[in-house]
């Protein structure tokens, strides 16, 4: 085995994957086929399962890649109606049991119909590892004053980097995935698939609209001044999704998270009926309600008490405990 000095660093690891992608793009590969990249996960060493769910068929793993912390999320994808014919004709079937009119099998599908959606966070920070760790949550009550004295100082020091957001806005990443863009610096935004969505079926449709305007951290920063921005995102986001995905506004759940994980204003567009993580009433605020609240009270979100869940080992929860607010 190679010693640690010979192991690839972060950049090298991604360059390896990129080189393999470029080789694939240039030569061979049938039209419409996605390029393969080198399997950087062959070097992944599992440290701990952070959480898993038999029902949701996913697993969140903390481990090491090139001696650095990484989080890998594996998720089985839904079975699509348009692949059924290929699934039935192209699979191997192994009988498990037969009893009267009942029988169960293990169906071994062709590899292209048996993919696992994989997300890699690398290098992962301590905060990423905590985010994916299954934990008990506690509901926090935050007044406007609490926000200023407890929450704001904490998030100014402790929040996740929004480099990935800037990369999208500056077309340094995911440019080919953009569904719609309004480039206006004040009311403009970029609409693109959330990385939780593999875009294979609309049943779990999930897009995010990211504002071009920087410096709006969250719901708390919004005032009636931002109504044109919010109305623009709502209107044009719905139109773009109707055009691209044939889903009318009556099938959409459009909302903001409070607290978000990333403090650069963005809006979630998900399919109604899809139980997206974080769509519960304790975290999701419908954009339609946000707009109405600001129309009737310009400083609504500066003054209201807001409620949100925090996980047991969230540093912000400790701040609320220290302040005797919990």
194 touching ligand M7G, by CB under 6 A: yes
DSSP string, 118-167: EEEESSPPHHHHHHHS---EEEEEE-HHHIIIIIHHHHHHHPPP-HHHHH
Is residue 174 a known part of a binding site? Answer: yes
* 40: its two tokens: 């950087």
For residues 61-86, b (16+ Cβ closer than 10 Å) or e, as one string? bbbbbbeebbbbbebeeeeeeeeeee
195 touching ligand M7G, by CB under 6 A: yes
Least separation in angstroms between CB 35 and ligand M7G = 19
* Cis before 32? omega within 30: no
CA distance 269 to 278: 12
262 touching ligand M7G, by CB under 6 A: yes
260 touching ligand M7G, by CB under 6 A: yes
Is residue 264 a known part of a binding site? Answer: yes
Return the residue matching tokens 């068929």: 57
Angle at 52 between CA 137 and CA 63, to 5 degrees: 100
Catalytic residue check, 297: no
Q: Considering only residues 213-242, where is the footprint of ligand M7G by CB under 6 A?
A: none
Of 117, 196, 285, 302, the one binding ligand M7G by CB under 6 A: 196
Is residue 147 a known part of a binding site? Answer: no
In contact, 229 and 211? CB cutoff 8 Å = yes
Is residue 260 a known part of a binding site? Answer: yes
Is residue 257 a known part of a binding site? Answer: yes
CA distance 206 to 194: 6
192 touching ligand M7G, by CB under 6 A: yes
* 49: its two tokens: 């399962």
Least separation in angstroms between CB 267 and ligand M7G = 9
164 touching ligand M7G, by CB under 6 A: yes
Is residue 265 a known part of a binding site? Answer: yes
* Cis before 259? omega within 30: yes
Report the residue number, 8 or 278, with the smaller CB distance to ligand M7G.
Answer: 278
Least separation in angstroms between CB 140 and ligand M7G = 15
Cα distance from N-terminal residue to C-terminal residue, the chain: 51
Q: How many CB atoms lie within 10 A of CB 235?
A: 11
Q: Considering only residues 269-308, where is the footprint of ligand M7G by CB under 6 A?
A: 278
Catalytic option among 62, 212, 266, 285: 266
Least separation in angstroms between CB 87 and ligand M7G = 28
- Only one of the segments 23-31, 93-101, 140-148, 255-263 lies at the binding site for ligand M7G (rule: CB under 6 A); that segment is 255-263
75 touching ligand M7G, by CB under 6 A: no
In contact, 206 and 276? CB cutoff 8 Å = yes
Report the residue number, 63 or 260, with the smaller CB distance to ligand M7G.
Answer: 260
257 touching ligand M7G, by CB under 6 A: yes
The catalytic site residues sit at 266
Binding site for ligand M7G (CB under 6 A): 164, 174, 192, 194-196, 208, 257, 260-262, 278
Residues comprising the binding site?
164, 174, 194, 196, 257-268
């Amino acid at each position: 085995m190679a010693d640690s000095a010979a192991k690839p660093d972060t950049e090298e690891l991604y360059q390896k994957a990129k080189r393999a992608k470029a080789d694939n793009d240039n030569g061979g590969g049938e039209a419409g086929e996605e390029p393969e990249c080198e399997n950087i996960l062959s070097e992944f060493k599992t440290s701990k399962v952070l959480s898993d769910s038999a029902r949701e068929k996913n697993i969140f793993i903390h481990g090491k890649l090139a001696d650095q912390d990484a989080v890998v999320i594996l998720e089985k994808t839904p079975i699509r109606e348009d692949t059924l014919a290929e699934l039935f004709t192209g699979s191997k079937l192994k009988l498990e049991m037969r009893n009267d009119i009942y029988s169960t099998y293990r169906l071994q599908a062709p590899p292209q119909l048996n993919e696992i959606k994989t997300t890699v966070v690398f290098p992962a920070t301590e905060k990423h590892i905590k985010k994916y760790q299954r934990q008990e949550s506690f509901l926090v009550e935050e007044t406007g004053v609490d926000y200023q004295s407890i929450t704001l100082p904490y998030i100014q020091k402790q929040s996740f980097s929004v480099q990935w957001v800037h990369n999208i806005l500056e077309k340094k990443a995911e440019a080919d995935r953009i569904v719609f863009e309004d480039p206006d610096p004040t009311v403009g935004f970029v609409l693109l698939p959330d990385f939780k969505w593999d875009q294979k079926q609309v049943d779990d449709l999930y897009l995010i609209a990211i504002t071009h305007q920087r410096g709006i951290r969250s719901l708390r920063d919004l005032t009636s001044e931002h109504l044109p921005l919010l109305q623009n995102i709502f209107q044009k986001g719905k139109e773009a999704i109707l055009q691209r995905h044939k889903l009318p506004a009556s099938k959409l759940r459009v909302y903001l998270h409070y607290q978000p994980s990333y403090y650069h204003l963005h809006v979630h567009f998900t399919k109604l009926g899809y139980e997206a993580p974080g769509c519960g009433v304790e975290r999701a605020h419908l954009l339609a309600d946000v707009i109405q609240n600001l129309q009737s009270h310009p400083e609504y979100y500066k003054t209201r008490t807001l409620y949100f869940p925090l996980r047991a080992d969230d540093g912000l929860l400790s701040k609320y405990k220290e302040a005797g607010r919990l």
